[in-house]
């Protein structure tokens, strides 16, 4: 148990560090190739925030453990809304930016419902993975197009960006960072999956349960840290946007891997108990955000308590099911 725990901790550490190097290298390489900072932020950096979930789920699927990958996706979304947003709202009421209300939140709700319809037959197959990946491409395209149009309207160009925000890393070093980050991500994901599988065997529970809890919590720690820091610095829009964006990418870029590499049926509890909780929290988040328009556009502490209560209520039910 101790060895498996140490391996998991090392895996989490490597995933976070590898994702950071991967994003740094990819961003610098893209900039050297003439890609605008705006596009880099909307694609490379956005991908980087979900890199731990993506790589750990890809390795799990390749090793024939699809429920670990599915549990990771669902568990991360539950943790992001229930705990991360809940804790942030308890620290201080969160302002909800108009763009998130108009674009990201409707997208998150639509994608969550669409994912539910895809998984309703309790089977995640190759065609399902294609649909999810197609939605990911479409969402990214629409987001980039919207931001570019907004950029033109406000007449902001890459030339107006502060010089210190532009990378001075050359192509060779950027490629080195990219390769190093990718290697660390793969190795760390392998370590995490092996450690999580060992823990599941020792505890006598399914890999899906470990994915929902230990793996999901570990891969979501960067979101928790980044969001709390953003709130403390009065950058509420970053905290809310980080969670909404992360949940969208968790569904659209994590779930396809088990569909591609280990297609087949999955445990009904993952859908009826766990994905239902994801959907419930997403609906409540949308309701609270739109309701906040009548309260100076904030998510208050009461909402934070509700998010945390639902998460720990779900967690309690899950533990009872495991013990039963």
Q: Per-residue pLDDT for the chain (324 aa), expressed as one digit of tens each?
A: 778 788 878 877 887 777 777 777 777 777 777 766 555 655 666 666 677 788 888 888 888 889 989 999 999 999 999 999 999 999 988 888 777 788 888 999 999 999 999 999 999 999 999 999 999 999 888 877 877 776 665 554 444 334 434 456 677 887 887 788 778 877 887 787 778 778 877 778 888 888 888 888 877 877 777 788 778 888 777 778 878 888 998 899 899 999 999 999 999 999 999 999 999 999 999 988 887 665 566 788 899 999 999 999 999 999 888 886
* Predicted local distance difference test score (pLDDT) of residue 274: 96
- CA–CA dist 257, 129 (Å, integer): 7
Q: Which pLDDT does position 296 carry in this prediction?
A: 60
Rounded-to-integer distance, Cα 53 and Cα 48, Å: 10
List the domains of the chain with CATH numbers. 2-258+266-323 (1.20.1420.30)
Provide the pLDDT for residue 11.
79
| pLDDT (0 to 100) of residue 82 | 95
pLDDT at 269: 94
Quote the pLDDT of residue 166.
45
What's the pLDDT score for residue 90?
93
pLDDT at res. 157: 44
So what's the pLDDT on residue 165?
44
Confidence (pLDDT) at 161: 39
The whole-number pLDDT of residue 203 equals 78
Residues whose CB falls within 8 Å of the CB of residue 145, separated by 6 or more in sequence, listed in order: none
d(CA 281, CA 225): 21
Residue 322: Cβ within 10 Å count: 14
Query: Residue 239: what pLDDT?
Result: 78
CB-based contacts of 140, cutoff 8 Å, min separation 6: 42, 43, 46
Question: How would you label 184-207 residue by residue, b for 16+ Cβ within 10 Å and e otherwise?
Answer: bbbbbbbbbbbbbbbbbeeeeebb
Tokens for 287? 């309701």
* Predicted pLDDT at 294: 58
Closest CA to 114 of 255, 209, 241, 212: 255
Question: pTM, whole model, 2 decimals?
Answer: 0.82
């Amino acid at each position: 148990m101790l060895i498996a725990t140490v391996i998991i901790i090392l895996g989490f550490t490597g995933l976070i560090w590898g994702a950071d190097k991967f994003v740094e290298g990819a961003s610098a390489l893209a900039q050297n190739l003439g890609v605008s900072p705006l596009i880099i932020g909307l694609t490379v950096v956005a991908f980087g925030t979900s890199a731990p979930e993506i790589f750990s789920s890809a390795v799990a699927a390749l090793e024939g453990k699809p429920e670990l990958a599915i549990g990771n996706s669902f568990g991360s979304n539950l943790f992001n809304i229930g705990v991360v947003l809940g804790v942030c709202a308890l620290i201080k009421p969160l302002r909800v930016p108009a763009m998130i209300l108009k674009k990201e939140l409707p997208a998150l709700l639509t994608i969550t419902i669409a994912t539910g319809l895809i998984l309703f037959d309790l089977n995640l197959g190759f065609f399902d993975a294609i649909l999810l990946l197609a939605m990911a491409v479409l969402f990214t395209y629409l987001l980039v197009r919207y931001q570019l149009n907004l950029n033109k309207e406000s007449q902001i160009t890459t030339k107006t960006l502060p010089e210190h925000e532009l990378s001075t890393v050359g192509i060779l070093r950027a490629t080195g960072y990219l390769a190093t980050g990718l290697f660390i991500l793969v190795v760390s994901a392998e370590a995490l999956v092996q450690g999580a599988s060992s823990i599941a065997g020792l505890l006598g529970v399914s890999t899906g349960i470990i994915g929902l809890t230990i793996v999901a919590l570990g891969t979501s720690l960067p979101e928790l840290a980044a969001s709390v820091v953003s709130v403390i610095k009065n950058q509420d829009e970053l905290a809310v946007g980080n969670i909404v964006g992360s949940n969208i990418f968790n569904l659209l870029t994590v779930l396809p891997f088990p569909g591609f590499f280990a297609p087949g049926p999955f445990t009904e509890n993952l859908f009826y108990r766990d994905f239902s909780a994801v959907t419930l929290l997403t609906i409540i988040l949308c309701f609270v955000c739109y309701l906040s328009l009548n309260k100076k556009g904030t998510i208050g502490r009461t909402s934070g308590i509700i998010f945390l209560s639902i998460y720990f209520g779900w967690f309690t039910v899950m533990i009872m099911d495991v013990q039963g």
